[in-house]
Amino acid sequence: MEFDLEEEKIEILRRYRGLLRAAKNSKSREDRKTIRKAFDIALDKHSDQRRKSGEPYIYHPISVARVVAGELGLDTTSIVCALLHDTVEDTSLTLDDVESLFGNKERNRVDGLTKMSGVFEPGTSAQAENFRKMLLTLSNDVRVILIKLADRLDNMRTLDFMRPDKQQKIASETLYMYAPLAHRLGLYAIKTELEDLSLKYKEAEEFELINSRLRKTKDVRARFIRSFCAPIKRSLDEAGIKYSIKGRPKSIYSIWRKMQNQQVSFEEVYDVFAVRIVLDTDRDKEKSEIWRTYSIVTDYYQPNPDRLRDWISLPKGNGYESLHTTVMSPSGKWVEIQIRSERMDHVAEKGFAAHWRYKEGGESTVGGDQIDKWLTQIRDVLDNENEDAIEFIDELAMDLQSNDIFVFTPNGDMITLPQGASTLDFAFKVHSKVGETCIGGKVNHKLVPLSHKLSSGDQIEILTNKRQRPKEEWLKFVATSHARQKIRHALKEVKRERAEEGKDIVEKWMKKVGIHSTLYNLESLYRRLKLASAQDLYHEVATGLIKLEEITKFSVKQGKIVWPKGPKPGTSSKTAVTEKYIKPQKEDTLLIGENLQKIDYNLAQCCNPIPGDDVFGFITVSGGIKIQRQNCSNATNMLSKYAYRMMKARWSSKAEQQFEVKLSFTGIDDLGLVNQITQIISEDMEVNMRAIKMETHDGIFRGYVSVLIMNKNHLEDLITKLKNVSGVHTVERVKAES
């Protein structure tokens, strides 16, 4: 492949100058000199490397540094680290070189980024441990994670050149961990772009559909927003309030999610229109000016009382401050209004980066303390080295994706918890000893159990008893990883104490039957009983789940335990294999793997793939292959953590094989409607029905039908015909429950 090196040199310099323009906080001669030195080193070290697109590799570090400088507004040290973030791992540059050329701060941050480079690589424990490393780095220096998010953003922007399976893997990781992490750190602009780009690869058709609808309605929306804002502008001018006002569409991802959650079309999404009013006002006047502006808006437009969100009096846990309301326009469209100050807008766009800058300047930001508390909480969870790493990632993902509620102690101190938190979560948040001895609570002076779900504004008093001990079922009651980790730690202590008792019983039994107390004999015993460790054996003996005297099928030779051997290979009678799905000869064949071969597989029950669906193969723990739909709600989680177990898969033909699909439909109840629906299914489309259920309530009906169809086109034709029945409002294929 031929490259125009002269043209590339010009482009590299153009991009470098763009980086300098974006680095508004690095204006001094010393700063520029340092950035130039880092750029020259990166350019030299990456000179013979190219990206998948064929472009020079240096484009990537420059782009990451530009996001770090412009979109995050970070310091010179962070820009240097962004330029050098791949050099230590991919080139001959060492951490000692970085320290001698720049300094100790730069060395530590580049070291943090290098440790994180292996996140989500093949091997479950490796990927989870690397994510753990990443969060350890996060808890020590949050700027490292900001650079990592900038790196992920550039990778997502250039994902077009990756293989489709790689695209699915990276998009799933991004949606599962990186977008929620950006949200938790208050980086709304980056979080939104990461979500939209992930959707572009995970749900390409639906992404393009929403994107094209937004493009087509752009002019209409602009005209609508202009006329909507005109009276507000007049009144703000008359009141002498300095402001800027802009209309903006909701993100593609948030529109898609509303369409999914509420089962509505694009046209029916509640508030596609959004207006942001940003006030130029002093810090001490912010609150009064914002409420004054709210009063002006509601003079003209009727607000929805259920949609008022006051994050000015109670900022979000990540420092986000804004007043949100949804009002009804004269044309019958709901419009979301966001009112905030310039400072609040800056923090909303830059998130933790802005908080860190204000803090460095000696001025603390509202919400900054909340983020510091959250980072401390992560440190607590990471301190437990025995924590199952994959479980830890799942719990962190839950923590990241949850919204906050605000509750109060009996003294009136406010505590922030994730939505869905229980009395027990609150108890562990107060103190681990309070959590471990908690027997219940009083919420707003009423007695409630440990599992009671809290709501914003609740005042909670915890009741304890020193004889109380944590129980296994407590894990079902809690929503925070902090509480779950403390409960597990306490349960392990209890298990360890019981195991000590069991150890004595096992050793006495072995001595009695003549088995030597060796590691070989111990391992042979617990493996025969299908247990994972000697600790498990001791615990189950102590609790009476295993009775040693009932184990008789063994002999002892010179102190060694010997188990009877099974039948010789080929002599046992064959049994039917229930796990593997053996395909009949005429079935639609599915080609699996890099070479797209015919391999036996199971169809995932959570999403019931059918011919024509976009699918992938997933290697199960037992070694079989499970076929999943790419848009299955479980796929994001699976691909983000176990992408190395994914295999390519696609349908090869349209043979006469039938697959079961469940459809749901809603509409206005009408005489003979059920008859029309069943006639279309069984007569017009010649489809076999497995089950049908209809229920009506106040003239509205909801129905479910299980049908046997041949492929995706067959299904789409059936859905179209059902939608044309008078009175039917929606017809949807039932997706897997997450």
Q: Residue 200 corresponds to which amino acid?
A: K
Greatest Cα pair distance, the chain, in angstroms, is 100
Alpha helices (H) in 414-543, listed in sequence order: 423-430, 432-436, 481-513, 519-528, 534-542
The candidate with the shortest Cα–Cα distance to 733, out of 570, 296, 411, 714, is 714
Cα-based angle 687, 689, 693 (whole degrees, multiple of 5) = 135
569: exposed, middle or buried (Cβ count in 10 Å: 0-12, 13-18, 19+): exposed
CA–CA dist 389, 709 (Å, integer): 42
Residue 90 annotated in active site: yes
| Strand 438-443 relative to strand 404-408, pairing | unpaired
Main-chain dihedrals φ then ψ at residue 337, nearest 5 degrees:
-115, 130
DSSP string, 668-687: E--TTHHHHHHHIIIIIS--
Helix (H) or strand (E) holding 569: none
CA–CA dist 498, 504 (Å, integer): 10
Residue 500 annotated in active site: no
Token pair listed for 710: 């041949």
454-465 as b/e, with b when 16 or more CB fall inside 10 Å? beeebebebbbe
Sign of CA dihedral 445, 447, 450, 451: negative
Active-site annotation holder among 8, 11, 55, 90: 90
In this structure, are residues 311 and 324 in contact, taking their beta carbons and an 8 Å threshold?
yes
What is the distance of C-alpha 46 from the center of its chain? 33
| Strand 615-619 relative to strand 646-651, pairing | antiparallel
Q: What dihedral angle (degrees, nearest 10) is formed by the CA atoms of 275, 280, 286, 288?
A: -80
Active-site annotation holder among 89, 280, 388, 523: 89
Alpha helices (H) in 26-123, listed in sequence order: 29-45, 59-66, 76-84, 87-90, 95-101, 104-115
The residues carrying an active-site annotation are 89-90
